[in-house]
Amino acid sequence: MPPSGENPPIVKRSRLHLGRMRKLSPEREALLAGKLPGLRVALGESESLDPATLCEPPARDVWLEIGFGAGEHLLHQAREHPECLHIGCEPYPAGVARLLACMGDAGNIRIHDGDAFDFLSMLRPSSISRCYMMFPDPWPKKRHGKRRMTRMEVVGQLARILKKNAELRIATDSGTFAGWMLANMRRCKPFVWDADRSRDWREPREPYPPTRYELKARRCGRAVMHLNFRRSGDNGS
Ligand SMILES: C[S@@+](CC[C@H](N)C(=O)[O-])C[C@H]1O[C@@H](n2cnc3c(N)ncnc32)[C@H](O)[C@@H]1O
């Protein structure tokens, strides 16, 4: 695995349901062509990648964001926590280009521009200290169950790659998504829902600038829930 994806990505777009792709401006196309290759984490062998080695010296902590959209939250975390390496997964080229346009010379960001599930599968066990999912697509229809980030195979991979005491922080405006996530996390022993009172899921752990999707949800009057899980040392086996 090269330190910064020198290989082209192997993007299994057939499994992703991204809708219509907007045509990018020549400036954004140029950013993708010029800047992305140096930051890209391409797919490699299953369970082989130690993500800490994607920077020099190796990072003590690696944080991951799944589905970063336009990258506002990822960039905020990268600036607030320069001591960590921040990896974002986002298959949508317009979102990746937007992050590249805004990130300046932030040296602690890497990008996987494909399916987060494929990315999770190639990470070494216990290699991520924190994972964010900010407003994952809820896919409420039953026939779309395989696309959900709540599905058990994703939850299982998260349990494998998160370190002991690592946090999984999920924000959503979908009660259905929240219900499925809580049900599956209860089935996956290592995860503990960190919530004692309603404030724990009504407010984020730390303030952050709202993401694009969050602003839209609020404009439509939808409440936002913050589900925080801790990966205990218990494997449940
Ligand atoms: C509802 S949007 C939220 C975007 C952003 N986090 C926000 O809050 O504005 C969900 C995002 O997840 C991304 N996504 C969907 N399926 C994905 C997958 N399999 N792996 C990684 N990202 C995915 C989409 O491209 C989209 O940007």
Q: To the nearest whole percent, how much of the chain has pLDDT over 90?
A: 76
Phi, psi (deg, nearest 5) at residue 113: -95, 50
Query: Is any ligand 1 atom within 6 A of the Cβ of residue 116?
Result: yes
> Rounded to the nearest whole angstrom, what is the distance from the C-alpha of residue 150 to the centroid of ligand 1?
13
Q: Does the pLDDT of residue 16 top 90, yes or no?
A: no
Query: In sequence order, what are the beta bridge partners of 162?
Result: 128
- Per-residue model confidence as pLDDT tens digits over 40-49: 999 989 889 9
Task: State how far the Cα of 103 lies from the Cα of 75, in Å rounded to an integer.
Answer: 7
> Rounded to the nearest whole angstrom, what is the distance from the C-alpha of residue 94 to the centroid of ligand 1?
12
Query: In sequence order, what are the beta bridge partners of 172?
Result: 225
Q: Ligand 1, residues 90, 174, 176: which to mutate, most atoms within 8 A of Cβ?
A: 90
Work out which ligand 1 atom sits closest to the CA atom of 216: 9
Q: Count the Cβ atoms, other than its own, within 10 Å of residue 152.
A: 11
- Per-residue model confidence as pLDDT tens digits over 74-88: 999 999 999 999 999
Query: Is any ligand 1 atom within 6 A of the Cβ of residue 210?
Result: no
Residue 148 is predicted with a pLDDT of 80
Q: Is 9 helix (H, G, I), strand (E, B) or coil?
A: coil
Cis peptide bond prior to 57, omega within 30° of 0: yes
Query: Is any ligand 1 atom within 6 A of the Cβ of residue 114?
Result: no
pTM beyond 0.85: yes
> Rounded to the nearest whole angstrom, what is the distance from the C-alpha of residue 137 to the centroid of ligand 1?
6
Residue 2 is predicted with a pLDDT of 39
- Between residues 24 and 149, the one the model is more confident about: 24
- Between residues 19 and 225, the one the model is more confident about: 225
Q: Does the pLDDT of residue 72 top 90, yes or no?
A: yes
Look-up of token digits 């062998």:
45
Residue nearest to atom 19 of ligand 1 (CA): 115
Between the CA of residue 41 and those of 79, 85, 112, 166, what are the distances in Å? 20, 13, 5, 22
Q: Does the pLDDT of residue 167 top 50, yes or no?
A: yes
Phi, psi (deg, nearest 5) at residue 52: -60, -25
pLDDT band at 22 (very low <50, low <70, confident <90, very high): confident
Task: State how far the Cα of 194 lies from the Cα of 21, in Å rounded to an integer.
Answer: 37
- Per-residue model confidence as pLDDT tens digits over 134-147: 999 988 777 777 77
State the average pLDDT for the chain: 90
Q: What is the CATH number of domain 20-231?
A: 3.40.50.150
Q: Which residues contact 14 (CB under 8 A, 6 or more apart)?
A: none
Q: Does the pLDDT of residue 234 top 70, yes or no?
A: no
Residue nearest to atom 23 of ligand 1 (CA): 67
Among the residue ranges 67-71, 105-109, 148-152, 166-170, the one predicted with the least confidence is: 148-152
> Rounded to the nearest whole angstrom, what is the distance from the C-alpha of residue 237 to the centroid of ligand 1?
32
Query: Is any ligand 1 atom within 6 A of the Cβ of residue 190?
Result: no
> Rounded to the nearest whole angstrom, what is the distance from the C-alpha of residue 68 to the centroid of ligand 1?
6
